[in-house]
Chains A and B, each alone.
Chain A
Amino acid sequence: DTAVSQTPKYLVTQMGNDKSIKCEQNLGHDTMYWYKQDSKKFLKIMFSYNNKELIINETVPNRFSPKSPDKAHLNLHINSLELGDSAVYFCASSQGAQGGTGELFFGEGSRLTVL
Chain B
Amino acid sequence: GNSVTQMEGPVTLSEEAFLTINCTYTATGYPSLFWYVQYPGEGLQLLLKATKADDKGSNKGFEATYRKETTSFHLEKGSVQVSDSAVYFCALSESHTGANSKLTFGKGITLSVRP
Please report A residues at the B interface, Cβ cutoff 8 Å: 4, 31, 40-45, 48, 50, 55-56, 90, 92, 97-109
Contacts and interface: CB of A to CB of B under 8 A. Distances in A.
A108 B42 contact: yes
Contact of B96 (A55, A100, A109): A100
Contacts of A103: 46, 49
Interface string B52-77: 00000000000000000000000000
25 contacts: A4-B43, A31-B99, A40-B107, A41-B87, A42-B105, A42-B107, A43-B44, A43-B89, A45-B103, A48-B100, A48-B102, A56-B100, A56-B102, A90-B43, A92-B43, A97-B102, A98-B101, A99-B97, A102-B46, A102-B93, A104-B44, A104-B103, A108-B41, A108-B42, A109-B42
Minimum-distance CB pairs A-B, first 5: A99-B101, A106-B43, A41-B108, A99-B93, A99-B95
A4 B42 CA distance: 11
Interface residues of B, number: 29
A55 B49 CA distance: 24
Contacts of B96: 99-100
B34 interface: yes
Contacts of A99: 32, 93-98, 101-103
B81 interface: no
Contacts of A100: 96-97, 101
